[in-house]
Structure 1
Amino acid sequence: MNPQVRQLQWGVLSIALSLLIGASARGDEWPQFRGPGGQGDVGAVDLPLHWSENEGIRWKTELPGRGWSSPVIANGRIWLTTAVEKASDAEEPLVTDEQVARVSSGTDMGAAAAIDLLALEVDLETGKLLRTVNLFSVDEPPPIHNLNSYASPTPVLVDGRLICHFGTFGAAAVDVNSGEVLWRRPMELDHIVGPGSSPVVVDDVTILTCDGADKQFIAALDIATGEIRWQVDRPPIRETNPDMRKAFATPLVFEQAGRKQAVIPGAQWFVSYDPATGDELWRVDHGNGFSNVPRPVFDGERVYLCTGFGKPQLWAIRTDGSGDVTETHVDWREKQQIPAKSSPIISDGRIYVISDGGVASCFSAADGKKLWRERIPGKYSASPILANGRLYFCSHEGGTTVVADSAEYEELAVNQLDGMHMASPAVAGDDLILRTDTHLYRISNKPN
């Protein structure tokens, strides 16, 4: 295809996607990890540029327990999940001063204490914690990595239901009006370091990534009943070390040329599935990457995926193939300063990433050419968002650096909160909803 024609097509698609996603975000709807489109782009929304603990905060609410799940929003309510240590002689979860101190320090909750896995409902207007819903009680939780939590997967909102996934502890659905638990579904697998994959909804099913150390499969549950509609094993993996067979990526669902796809990175393989049946559409052997965390992004022609831990790489793959397309549909690969945890973001023919150690890069989406690379202070797990020509990168240290969406690097602002950013940001109208390890914030251009 003529490069000028391809660029024109990309420009038209970008405008259409921006308008569609931006309209959804302005309606205060943030139903899943990385927002309405699942790719962190909220369109022409005028988010705050400057804030601190003393500026730009509409409200700040202390959260019980520990969890890295991102906020999801609908109908004036914010929902998130958390893990709370159970009090030994109480029926209801109890948050102690000791627990708050442990959460603030980032200390692993360990395997000794029993936990309750909760869904939290917060009023969007006031920040008031309205309700806690106990989804699972775990008497002997296994150890987890000290950078993970027992409540890291982001829930998804659909048709008045909140669907939560806690990996090996199971999935559950909550009626958001009554708080009733509609169903629970156990999922047996061993993550070794804790759960991470967020659920996605396609039509009337929710797709769960179940890439454990012991077994690897994808399952689709009926959103009304929790019953398994389909379940398929992942492709065979060469690696025999269980720790290098697991993965934690969230599926990306899109449609290209009338074919709907759910693309899910995993150890050794990138795989595209038919979300209605679980049938494999195509696969790519990316080598020996494992523990994949970043969610893919899609620009209408290529999907961009990260290979995971080991030596993280970014791959650009055309999505119109079938079968094993490793030798035919990979357009380019980048091996330098690619994240193992944070997801990419794409805009106007450019793709941005930030490495775990804080090196941000911008590439041409067409050919992978590096346009700029700059170090941004901090370490990074949260995925960035894009709004109205600005990229927002949130660090472990509580900082948020805002840079221009441009082929040349331009820092616009650096903001600091007291807590630790592990959860990715959410957006409500023109406001940012930020979760730290201890609090939930509504950051606003009009805080009062």
Structure 2
Amino acid sequence: MVPLLLLLAAPLLAADWTQFRGPNGSGVSDAKGLPDEFGPSKNAIWKTALPPGHSMPVFSETRIFLTAYDADGKLWTICLNREDGKVLWRREAPRPRNQELHKANSPASPSAVTDGRNAYVFFTDFGLLSYGPDGEERWRLPLGPFNNPFGMGASPVLAGDTLLQICDSESGSFFAAFHKDTGKLKWRVERPDVARGFSTPVLYQPNGGELQVIVPGSYRLVSYSVATGERIWWTSGLTWQLKPTPVMDRDRIYVLGWAGGSDTGQQEDIAPFEDVLKTWDANKDGALAKEEIPDPKIVKDWSSVDLDRNGVLGARDWQMFRDRRAAQNGLTAFRLGGKGDMTGKSVAWRYTKSLPNVPSPLLYDGVLYLVKEGGLFTSIDPATGEVLKQARLQGALDQYFASPVAAGGRVYVASQGGHVVVLKAGAQWEVLQVNSFDDEIHSTPVPLGNRLYIRTRSALYAFGTP
């Protein structure tokens, strides 16, 4: 990862952790000397009680920013002192609505991003806000409501003075750029051929070219100009719902996508809308009502097919249904760059077995890592897609929402059940320690400096060696 990171802007250096999963979403840190053994009563430097939230903490030189929600339904942005964990301020965000959420999601799932001084946050039930280092509100920008039955999950990203936010939903999807100091819109591009998604974008700086931002979404990967929002290149071949954030090396981007009904062998060839209308559209209104459809599977899954929720299936609904039934899950290695449609030209390899649902992949020291629910951990050769080792993480056979991270020759993996596994990194990885907490963990760990930060449902811990 390091060669690519050196091509990007200064805030993306591996010594920083300013956004979701740190430097360009990689999950890789240059931290060293972190303890293998830690827990509520071992190697804890400090612990700060917090309201719940799935977002991970992000860091400036002296401060920590995160989002949360409380039992009264209030949304919070919280700032802590990095040295001792003391809460410096907390600010309530407006909550004009309470949108539908998946049971595994939360009202405070997207992580904050910081430019080293100010914080920027996104909430499903409001939109974007920015706070100064002392908690003064700099600007606010209402967005939504969003037609996403699972709630939003993608985190904001900074590229220089540009704040980027992807908002993919069943309808009305868009990608927008704002000036970080004013919240003023720079550009907005509509994404009508995209349904719900949760993946945070990553930045790409080609040699001699303009800075780009790569967005995984339904069915395709798209690279946009950071300056203008223009589509520069794109490629098809993704599944219908993207949750993990991709990782990159100098030449390739590794995109993971798993969605229900799209494992290998589950694909179906669905007839075009025009053909279906001829036989099913009894009232000849150019749309399909539920009572006109003889297929019980479609009727049963109505809420997932009627994307705009208007009670009938139109041409877009049906095309998205066709695309969804043809989509295939996979971890795909795409060659970076190009111009225009790169479908059929950019795929280096594809792996379709034992795929995680939510956790992002990790690329560290020449090895790709995946962690799947049930504690199935896999190492893969990024050059070929060959599995190097696959085994269960004994002692942590749990559900996983947090993504793996790496530092100092170690990989850290946190389960929902409160187990944090420390592995010796490598093709033939080894479990060194399974640490246990008496609380759930949804947030991705942060190895930074000489400390390891773990957010549980009720607290943020800083661990280190005495």
Structure 1 residue 21 displacement after superposition: 9.6
Label 1:313 to 1:71 Cα distance change in 2 as closer, same or farther (>3 A): same
Identity of aligned residues (%): 33
1:255 aligns with 2:205: yes
Q: For the residues of structure 1 that align with 2:150 and 2:228, how far apart are their CA atoms?
A: 30
**Is 1:127 the equivalent of 2:85?**
yes
Whole-Å separation in 1 of the counterparts to 2:404 and 2:238: 26
Alpha-carbon offset, residue 16 of structure 1: 6.8
Is 2:138 aligned against 1:182?
yes
Question: Displacement of 1:59 after TM fit?
Answer: 1.3
- Report the counterpart of residue 91 of structure 1 in structure 2: none
| Distance change in 2, residues 1:232/1:308 (3 Å) | farther
Q: Does 1:346 align with 2:363?
A: yes
TM-score scaled by length of structure 2: 0.80
Q: What is the alpha-carbon distance in structure 2 between the residues aligned to residue 324 and residue 33 of structure 1?
A: 29
Q: CA deviation at 1:144?
A: 1.3
Distance 1:202 1:401, change over 3 A: same
How far apart are 1:23 and its partner, in Å? 6.9
Describe the shift of the 1:22–1:319 C-alpha distance in structure 2 as closer, same or farther (beyond 3 A): closer
Deviations 1:33-53 (Å, cap 9, x if unpaired)? 111342011125222211122
User: Greater CA radius of gyration, 1 or 2?
Assistant: 2
In the alignment, structure 1 residue 382 sits paired with structure 2 residue 402: yes
Report the equivalent of 2:215. 264
Amino acid at match of 2:248: F
Q: How far apart are residue 215 of structure 1 and its match?
A: 1.5
Residue of structure 2 in register with 1:112 after alignment: none
- Show the 5 A alignment for 1:125-204: 125-138=83-96, 140-177=97-134, 179-188=135-144, 189-204=146-161
The Cα shift of 1:207 comes to 0.6
What is the CA distance between 1:372 and its match in structure 2? 0.7
2:90 & 2:158 partners in 1: Cα distance? 23
Q: 1:422 aligns with which of 442, 445, 451?
A: 442
What is the match of residue 460 of structure 2?
Answer: 440
Matches within 5 A, 1:91-130: 115-130=73-88
Q: Structure 2: which 5+ runs fail to align? A: 264-328
Is 1:392 the counterpart of 2:392 in the alignment?
no
Structure 1 partner of 2:57: 71
1:345-384 CA-to-partner distances (Å, cap 9, x unmatched) read 1123221111133211111111101111111222211111
Residue identity in the other structure for 2:249: D
For residues 22-41 of structure 1, the aligned pairs below 5 Å read 24-25=14-15, 29-41=16-28
Contact 2:176–2:188 (8 Å) recurs in 1: yes
- Partners in 2 of 1:22 and 1:404 — Cα distance? 25
Q: Is the 8 A contact 1:46 1:387 kept in 2?
A: no
Match of 1:111 in 2: none
Query: Are 1:305 and 2:263 matched, yes or no?
Result: no
8 Å contact 1:50–1:415 — kept in the other structure? yes
When normalised by structure 1's length, the TM-score is: 0.83
Contact 2:132 2:138 in 1 (8 A): yes
Name the SS of the counterpart of 1:368 in structure 2. coil
Which residue number in structure 2 is paired with residue 92 of structure 1? none
Return the offset for 1:149: 0.5
Could you say which residue in structure 1 is the equivalent of 2:267?
Answer: none
Indicate the residue corresponding to 2:325 in structure 1: none
Q: Structure 1 residues 388, 133: CA separation in 2 closer, same or farther (over 3 Å shift)?
A: same
Task: Return the offset for 1:281.
Answer: 1.5
In the superposition, relative to structure 1, how do residues 267 and 327 fare at CA in structure 2: closer, same or farther (>3 Å)? same
Query: Alpha-carbon deviations, 1:49-96, whole Å to 9, x = none?
Result: 1112221111111112x211100111322111012244xxxxxxxxxx
Q: Is the 8 A contact 1:167 1:197 kept in 2?
A: no
Q: Which moved more, 1:433-442 or 1:281-290?
A: 281-290
Matched, 1:289 2:235: no
Q: Which runs of 5+ in 1 are unaligned?
A: 1-9, 87-114, 238-244
State the 1:422 CA deviation.
Answer: 0.5
1:234 matched to 2:191: yes
Q: CA deviation at 1:24?
A: 4.5
Distance in 1 separating the partners of 2:124 and 2:148: 8
Distance 1:287 1:22, change over 3 A: closer
Contact 1:196 1:248 in 2 (8 A): yes
Indicate how the Cα distance of structure 1 residues 168 and 284 shifts in structure 2: closer, same or farther if over 3 A, else same.
Answer: farther
Tell me how far apart the structure 2 counterparts of residues 120 and 321 of structure 1 sit (CA, whole Å).
41
CA distance in 2, matches of 1:183, 1:313: 40
Secondary structure of the 2:235 match is strand
Q: Name the SS for the 1:306 alignment partner.
A: strand
